[in-house]
Amino acid sequence: MKKPLLAALGALVITGTGLAAPAVAATAPSPGTVAAAKAPATVQAVTFAGTVSLSNCSGSVVRLPDSEDDDPALVMSNGHCLETGFPAAGEVIVDQASSRTFGLLNSAGTRVATLRASKIAYATMTDTDVSLYQLTTTYGQIKSSYGISALTLNDTHPVAGTAITVVSGYWKRTYACAVDGFAYRLKEGEWTWKDSVRYTSACQTIGGTSGSPVINNATGEVVAVNNTGNEDGGRCTDNNPCEVDESGNVTVRAGINYGQETHQIPACFGLDSKLDLSASGCVLPKP
Share of the chain above pLDDT 90, in %: 84
- d(C-alpha 153, C-alpha 141), whole Å: 19
Domains of the chain in start order, with CATH, are 48-152+265-272 (2.40.10)
Q: Which residues does 87 contact at the CB level (< 8 Å), separation at least 6?
A: 79, 80, 93, 123, 124, 125, 126
**Helix residue ranges per DSSP H, 67-163:** 139-146
pLDDT category of residue 8 using cuts at 50, 70 and 90: very low
Collapse the DSSP code of 10 into the 3-class scheme (helix H, G, I; strand E, B; otherwise coil) and give the result.
helix
Stated length of the chain: 287
The phi, psi pair for 111, rounded to 5°, reads: -75, 120
Sign of CA dihedral 140, 134, 128, 260: positive
pLDDT category of residue 4 using cuts at 50, 70 and 90: low
| Burial class of 144 by CB neighbour count within 10 A (0 to 12, 13 to 18, 19+) | exposed
198-225 pLDDT tens trace? 999 999 999 999 999 999 999 999 999 9
Note the pLDDT of residue 1: 81
User: Is 90 exceeded by the pLDDT of residue 12?
Assistant: no
Asked whether 278 and 287 are in contact (CB, 8 A), the reply is no
Note the pLDDT of residue 45: 77
The phi, psi pair for 69, rounded to 5°, reads: -60, -30
**pTM tops 0.85, yes or no:** yes
18-42 pLDDT tens trace? 454 432 222 333 333 333 334 444 4
